Amino acid sequence: MNRVSWVYKNGLLVFAVLFFTAGTLGAPGRGWAENKLFSDGFPNDLRKKHEIGVQAVADPQTVRPGETFTLRLELGINPGWHIYSMRLVGEDAELATQITMMPEPFAPQTPWEESAPAAQMDSALEKIVQVHQNRAEFFRSYRVAEKHTAGKSAMQGKIIYQACDNKICSLPKEIAFNAVVQVVLAE
């Protein structure tokens, strides 16, 4: 057997073992990185440390045609980590937290706003940047069209962010959110 055939044959064997082991040891549809057998035993596993949680709430949750409401996104950020402000400019703009909506059933009345970020020295970037730590809030006002029908409407979107801990940064991640707005007709 020549060297090329040996590498090809054994490379396929290694791939098959990894592929089928990942499928049989983990839950269906999960890869080996999500498998508890591989992740629980490592004390330095950083996968979950930079994740954030989001809660989306319409305020108020019940509105009439012609009224406005505010969509609030409340983010919880793990201790020691931060995400970047939406308002970064220049060469830092690519780090800015972004919010995208998937089709908006209501007309936006304001641009996205955010709770006050803090100026912090980011050792990973070696400069002072605007960040959110522990908690952040993003909000935007919407108006219900005069001819909007009664019923529930979903406000869906995603937040695209990059989390850092002053030593390392995650790759950009996205987290989906959903809020429900109840439209009632005037009496």
**Tens digits of residue pLDDT in 19-66:** 444 444 443 433 333 333 333 443 444 445 657 899 999 999 999 999
Q: Do the Cβ atoms of 22 and 34 come closer than 8 Å?
A: no
Of 90 and 10, the one with more pLDDT: 90
List, in order, residues 6 or more apart from 45 with CB less than 8 Å away: 39
pLDDT value, residue 170: 86
List, in order, residues 6 or more apart from 157 with CB less than 8 Å away: 56, 99, 100, 101, 102, 176, 177
Domain boundaries of the chain, sorted by first residue: 3-39, 52-183
pLDDT value, residue 48: 56
pLDDT value, residue 49: 61
Of 111 and 91, the one with more pLDDT: 111
Tell which CATH classification among 2.60.40.1250, 3.40.1710.10, 3.40.50.300, 1.10.357.10 matches the domain 52-183: 2.60.40.1250
Residue-wise pLDDT for 123-153, tens only, equals 877 888 999 999 999 999 999 999 999 999 9
Q: Is the pLDDT of residue 163 over 60?
A: yes
Query: Would the CA dihedral through 59, 63, 67, 71 be positive or negative?
Result: positive
Rounded to two decimals, what is the model's pTM? 0.71
Q: Do the Cβ atoms of 94 and 53 come closer than 8 Å?
A: no
List, in order, residues 6 or more apart from 141 with CB less than 8 Å away: 68, 69, 70, 71, 108, 109, 110
How many Cβ atoms sit within 10 Å of the Cβ of residue 106? Answer: 21
Q: Is the pLDDT of residue 180 over 60?
A: yes
Q: Do the Cβ atoms of 58 and 155 come closer than 8 Å?
A: yes
Locate tokens 């999500």: which residue? 34
